[in-house]
């Protein structure tokens, strides 16, 4: 059965388990509005179902849980001048992110393979977040002239030291050990054991100890490379501004620090400036919903006022020439009040849910 013919979300009870599978494997299960609504509907149906004790979310295919939201469609709606349609997508997606975090039954997410952007919004706020040896997690929004959302700023702001700034600005990818260390995951289970884990959730006798069950399959991880890099990351990414971060990276001896500087110099100056401010402000916010509200304002600011998002999607995902024309093109051209203006933006379409 092809992606086009199959339901894009498979929702079925399996014993005591409510099993949700994102089912667009050719698109690495990228989220669209239909999928978001299907996930909402299943969670609504199972909330008061006494036969369901635990909800499990995974992805079809072997490439990943979810590569993100459908940003091509998003960019096309921005370019066509349909901000209300953009607002609707994010309103419903963010409501889903909060719903997963606040769900009264344990939600377990299998972040196997690629789990990025919108995939972090599905997996990162679950009660139990499982990665595997194939997991690759990231918030890569700055690479398309955008800013981390779906509650990503909340997770980034709570990563150890200055890892939040590093991961947010560079869009760096985490493996399983990195994800656990940075607070994006809780346990690592080998991919070969995932079927057995699902079956255990389906048949388990004790509905109140899902974490204890996961620990039966949990694998000890090698030390995180992010932990080993904390010295130069914390030093450089504590600087006040993006140009100062780059200056500190260039002053380091580590090759990885110079590579990070190279990356930052290629990315959207607007996205970098706003993202740095957003992550730091998220550290002062009281909860996930407050972070989602902040992100929604920034998303709509980008959609209403900034050309870099559609340009980044064009360069990275449509034409794939990898040569975006950012506006402005350099960090030196950024208005000193840009981040404050972005954070103060009030959308015409309020956040709901």
How many alpha carbons lie under 13 Å from residue 143 in its C-beta half-sphere? Answer: 19
> Any idea what DSSP says for residue 144?
G
Q: 168 to each of 143, 178, 206, 268, 316, how far by Cα in Å? A: 10, 14, 39, 13, 18
Measured distance CA(78)–CA(276) in Å, rounded? 24
| Catalytic site residue from 61, 118, 124, 312 | 118
Say how far apart CA 165 and CA 159 lie, in whole Å: 9
Of the candidates 289, 281, 269, 288, which has an alpha carbon nearest to the alpha carbon of residue 338?
269
User: Which residue among 59, 69, 145, 297 is the active-site one?
Assistant: 69
Instruction: Indicate if the alpha-carbon torsion angle 111, 233, 141, 63 is positive or negative.
Output: negative
First-to-last C-alpha distance (Å) of the chain: 34
How does 123-155 read in b/e, with b if 16+ C-beta sit within 10 Å?
bbbbbbbbbbebbbbbbbbbbbbbbbbbbbbbb
Check if 118 is active-site: yes
List, in order, residues 6 or more apart from 153 with CB less than 8 Å away: 147, 168, 278, 279, 282, 291, 294, 295
Q: Per-residue DSSP letters for 11-68? A: EEEETTEEEEEE--GGGTT-B-HHHHHHHHHHHHHHHT-TT--EEEEEESSSSEEE--
DSSP 126: S
Phi (first) and psi of residue 51, to 5 degrees: -85, -10
Q: Catalytic one among 112, 141, 165, 311?
A: 141
Q: Which of 70, 149, 165, 311 is catalytic?
A: 149
Put the strands of the sheet holding 136-138 in their side by side order.
Answer: 64-66, 114-116, 136-138
Our answer to whether residue 183 is catalytic in this structure is: no
Is 178 in the active site? no
Q: What is the CA radius of gyration of the chain?
A: 20
Mind telling me the catalytic residues?
Answer: 69, 118, 141, 149
């Amino acid at each position: 059965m092809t992606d086009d013919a199959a339901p894009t979300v498979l929702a079925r009870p399996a014993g005591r388990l409510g099993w949700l599978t994102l089912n667009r494997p050719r698109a690495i299960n990228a989220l669209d509005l239909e999928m978001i609504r299907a996930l909402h509907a299943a969670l609504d149906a199972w909330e008061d179902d006494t036969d369901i004790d635990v909800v499990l979310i995974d992805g079809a295919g072997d490439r990943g849980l979810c590569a993100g939201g459908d940003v091509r469609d998003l960019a096309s709606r921005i370019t066509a001048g349909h901000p209300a349609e953009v607002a609707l997508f994010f309103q419903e997606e963010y409501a889903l992110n909060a719903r997963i975090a606040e769900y009264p039954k344990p939600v377990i997410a299998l972040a196997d393979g690629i789990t990025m952007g919108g995939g972090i919004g599905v997996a990162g706020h679950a009660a139990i977040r499982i990665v595997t040896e194939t997991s690759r997690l990231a918030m890569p929004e700055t690479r398309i002239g955008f800013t981390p959302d779906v509650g990503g700023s909340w997770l980034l702001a709570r990563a150890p030291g200055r890892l939040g700034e590093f991961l947010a600005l560079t869009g760096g990818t985490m493996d399983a050990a990195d994800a656990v260390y940075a607070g994006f995951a809780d346990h690592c289970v080998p991919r070969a054991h995932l079927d057995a884990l699902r079956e255990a959730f389906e048949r388990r006798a004790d509905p109140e100890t899902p974490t204890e069950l996961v620990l039966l399959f949990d694998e000890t991880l090698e030390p995180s490379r992010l932990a080993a890099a904390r010295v130069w990351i914390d030093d450089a990414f504590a600087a006040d501004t993006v140009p100062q971060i780059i200056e500190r990276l260039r002053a380091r001896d580590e090759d990885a620090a110079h590579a990070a500087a190279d990356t930052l110099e290629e990315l959207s100056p607007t996205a970098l400036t706003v993202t740095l401010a957003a992550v730091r402000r998220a550290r002062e916010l009281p909860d996930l919903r407050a972070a989602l509200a902040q992100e929604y304002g920034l998303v709509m600011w980008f959609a209403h006022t900034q050309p870099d998002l559609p340009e980044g999607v064009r360069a990275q995902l449509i034409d794939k020439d990898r040569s975006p024309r950012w506006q402005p093109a350099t960090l030196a051209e950024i208005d000193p009040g840009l981040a404050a203006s972005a954070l103060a933006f009030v959308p015409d379409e309020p956040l709901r849910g």
